[in-house]
Amino acid sequence: MSDFVEVKDLRRLFDVSKPLVTRLIERAPKQYLKAVDGVSFSIRKGETFALVGESGSGKSTVARMVVGLLPATEGTITIDGVSMRDKADAAARQKLRRRIQMIFQDPYASLNPRWRVERIVAEPIRAFGLITTPDAIRARVGELLTLVGLHPDDGRKFPHEFSGGQRQRIAIARALASNAEFLVCDEPTSALDVSVQAQILNLMKELQESFGLTYLFISHNLAVVRYMATRIGVMYLGRLVEIAPARELFARPRHPYTRMLLDAVPDLHMSGRTRTPVGGEIPNPINPPPGCTFHPRCPLANERCRREAPAFIDGVACHAVEEGRVAA
Amino acid sequence: MSSPLPGQPVLSVRDLRVEFATRRGVLKAIDGVSFDIARGEVLGVVGESGAGKSVTGSAVIGLIEPPGRIAGGEIVLSGERIDNLPAEALRRIRGKRIGMIFQDPLTSLNPLYTVAEQLVETIRTHEDMTARQARTRAIDLLAEVGIPAPERRIDSYPHEFSGGMRQRVVIALALCAGPELIIADEPTTALDVSVQAQIITLLKKLCRDHGTAVMLVTHDMGVIAETADRVAVMYAGRIAEIGPVREVVSRPLHPYAAGLMGAIPTLDQDIGRLVQIPGSMPRLTAIPPGCAFNPRCPRVFDRCRVDRPEPIEHRPAHKVACHLYDPAERSAALEAQP
């Protein structure tokens, strides 16, 4: 199967310089934060590709660039053969828009509190002019609400009348309204309680099976990612450190950071297990360490790691793995 | 008075009830909660939003603000009843005999004072010490919670620390006066997993070393499984199940606890589909009669809709509030099952 989404050497800088006058007085140069630095991955049709990482790893920035909410500084994003930056593809891109939707983390912030649910869900239908008669739109909205486990009559209500889990269902109904094929989900369940999280994750899996949806799934929760993803990319300080099929990543993590992450997650059935706590925290991304950005926390770091950034070879970016210093 | 007699629990909560008076009537946030915490023991309190776990913690330290009030029950700290003490006496207990750790370390530290000023002030409020002695003690505390170069870092402001380091400072503050009990309300929720692991390990070690009792309030079952000795599962203001952590995790009794454990995705096994509890927790304005869980319960029967279950000791030290485990119902329920 060919790749549905292809992301190549994606970079995004944020200007975090001080105000111009301060800069002139202090003779300080402009300062940039590398939120995403050379990220490449591809997603096949119908699969769930997950990006995991801790805060500040750049996973949400990647998601925003993929849907087009944020322009990339460098790099290319190609979805179903259409470039998201190339001017020549502008017409094709317009057609593609309908097929891409996003689900956000906070269902309290992502629904307009002054609109009734039916208007929220119908917005993509109206925006893309998919259905024109009011009756047909109403019928379609009812159908979408039923699909996500709500009642068609719920359309008359306002978002504040729903719980967090129900709101996330509304957000999913809205995303499906334009017959989207590719959903970018940025931490869709991290604002929800576990029993509600289970409902939403199950719903997302069911919808994927019935409509053949493709997901880019962003999460910091490794257990959730394991449940959802086909393939997983692990990010650290704006770079991908490892990509592997889900099962393989959990059975045989290769990058020292992936190992550390897996080791750090408290798990239900490991009570009393002695863990090896890792020292340190994610460094400031404005001044990342030279060489491999993980080297200050890495138990395997040597001189080369401190000097030279590792290339992404065969699914992992690590000198220790490349040199065979670690049992891969 | 400050050290409990042998065998006496550090904290004993009996039939606690907390109410909030609102325009729509009186809301029962906590309705008949009882538990004990022994010296050096970590009691985990889990539940979903609105279950009443944080309110329980606030009630113990006397931080329930009007319109909320403790409507009944007793809170006993090392043999001394504290829920009916005047505000001034309670203030002296708070911070000295009961330490507190909250979720967000940035809001529990004052941004305008250095860590040294905050630690020294707290130490001197509770102990008779000179400023110099208090500073030495503060540096020792920071070293104990794992802050590198504490004699230099002590004069930094909270914003100069990272999230994990800040939470360590908060833990040092809680430990200042050598409390008998620490209430930790979601202490690791705002932290990344790798840092969370460090804080859990630290908290466990400190309690073991000092013999401090800990009430760990969190929604994260994984954190509880790793840290707690016993766990109380709360639902709609009541304890559904309380018992040794391994038993509750691997062999939960209450249908809600069982659903909750099944709903959590795990790292070490492939799951085809997560267990799903239909519906969501009732709002406090609309708690159903009988067992609060009955509309969502897969094993509900007639009695659950009218009669509220009381905790039953089903296994030693393992209580469950569910009619399924009532010896009188048990034979009938078992017969009904094929």
Q: Say yes or no: A198 contacts chain B, CB-CB below 8 A.
A: yes
A–B: how many Cβ contacts below 8 A?
Answer: 133
B222 falls in which pLDDT band (50, 70, 90)? confident
Helix axes A117-127, A164-176, angle to 10 degrees: 20
pLDDT digits (tens, 9 = 90+) for A215-243: 999 998 888 999 999 999 999 999 999 99
B333 falls in which pLDDT band (50, 70, 90)? low
Which listed CATH number (3.30.830.10, 3.40.50.300, 3.40.640.10, 3.90.1200.10) goes with B11-97+177-266+274-336?
3.40.50.300
pLDDT digits (tens, 9 = 90+) for A265-309: 877 765 445 556 667 777 877 888 888 989 988 888 888 999 888
User: Can you tell me the mean pLDDT for A140-161?
Assistant: 92
Say which of B219, B222, B277 has its CB closest to residue A268.
Answer: B222
Mean pLDDT for chain A overall = 88
Cβ-defined contact of A265 to B222 (cutoff 8 Å):
yes
- Among the residue ranges A154-168, A237-251, A314-328, B77-91, the one predicted with the least confidence is A314-328
Q: What percent of chain B has pLDDT over 90?
A: 45
Interface probe with B: pick from A57, A190, A193, most Cβ of B within 10 Å? A193
Q: Which residues of A are less than 8 Å from B247 in CB distance?
A: none
Cβ-defined contact of B268 to A277 (cutoff 8 Å):
no
DSSP state of B294: T
- Pairing assessment for the beta strands A74-79 and A3-15 based on DSSP bridges: antiparallel
Cβ-defined contact of B268 to A267 (cutoff 8 Å):
yes
Q: How far apart are CA A151 and CA A161, in angstroms?
A: 13
Q: Which of A157-161, A265-269, B194-198 has the highest mean pLDDT?
A: A157-161
Residue of B nearest to A163 (CA): B280
Q: Where are the domains of chain B?
A: 11-97+177-266+274-336
What is the SS3 assignment for B127?
coil
pLDDT digits (tens, 9 = 90+) for B23-76: 888 888 999 999 999 998 999 999 888 888 889 999 998 888 888 899 999 999
Give me the pLDDT at residue A272, please. 47
pLDDT digits (tens, 9 = 90+) for B84-136: 888 888 888 888 899 999 887 778 899 999 999 999 999 998 888 999 999 99
Q: Which residues of B are less than 8 Å from A165 in CB distance?
A: 280
Q: How far apart are CA A142 and CA A118, in angstroms?
A: 8
Q: Which residues of A are less than 8 Å from B106 in CB distance?
A: none
Mean pLDDT for chain B overall = 88
Give me the pLDDT at residue A274, please. 54
pLDDT digits (tens, 9 = 90+) for A180-199: 999 999 999 888 888 889 99
Q: Which residues of B are less than 8 Å from A279 in CB distance?
A: 198
Q: How far apart are CA A320 and CA A328, in angstroms?
A: 10
Q: Which residues of B are less than 8 Å from A57 in CB distance?
A: none
**ipTM for this model:** 0.78
User: Can you tell me the mean pLDDT for A242-266?
Assistant: 89
Say which of B196, B200, B263 has its CB closest to residue A195.
Answer: B263
Instruction: Answer yes or no: is pLDDT of A143 > 80.
Output: yes
Q: What separation in angstroms does the CA of A63 have from each of A38, A48, A295, B192?
A: 14, 13, 26, 20
Q: Can you give the three-state secondary structure of A150-203, one letter per residue?
A: CCHHHHHCCHHHCCHHHHHHHHHHHHHCCCCCEEEEECCCCCCCHHHHHHHHHH
A126 falls in which pLDDT band (50, 70, 90)? very high
